Structure 1
């Protein structure tokens, strides 16, 4: 499992694909996701050892030029974040539901890491740009106090937040639609 994650979001699909190729060749990293995102942007998310991710990001940013619109580098990412990106994080107990919405995909990934480290919550999903207008969204569950603490930690540290909510007792049909 990767202990660092890096991301570059570009406003050019063609340049994004090219940058992804250079990033993969620059260092031994795993491509966690490389795809188009709304509205006509391209995102490259990589993971691996911190030094390799840093080297790959440096090369990618150097080749992105003015097409880079957002980036992130998280050296010691929480173990739940990558499975939440793939929506494979095991959610055994459903409690209160926390939802965080951002104008930026990088902000959503950062928020997921902060929320998971701030309180005893289980990440459900980190949704990145696709079919949500290029925004980022994080959903997680836990007891009401933990969910509120995670939301508060994110609100105090992450930029570009659109909104957040804590639903203490979500309807079972709502949870089914989220899972």
Structure 2
């Protein structure tokens, strides 16, 4: 199973670049997860074209539409229990804040908010992953993550770089 993970698109409506990225990297994934800060209601409608789309609400997701998007989510895919949240708190500690909020019993924690890629393992705890920002990175690396899920194992992560 392939899971496309994106975050922090910060668009009010889809543009031609996002549409091309969707066709190339997201449409063929078995599952698509957005970790918040889609920003516009049209973005939610756009991503819902994927048959297995899951999202969480980010701090920049406002308006009535955002009330229907959960702040956190738990998913189990191929036996891997994952928690997803946009993130909050001091940027250098967002990974820990989110992981601590979910607590024990998770294999993978997904978060956004920082606009920077991150992958780290917590000793005797979960793998923690931030795909960075698809279109507005703070580390110069626009992109996303693709997870290869295999039954009862941690996913294999492939970073997808989005060229300018």
Tell which structure's C-alpha radius of gyration is larger: 1
Which is richer in helix?
1
The verdict on a shared fold, with TM-score over 0.5 as the criterion, is no
TM-score by length of 2: 0.33
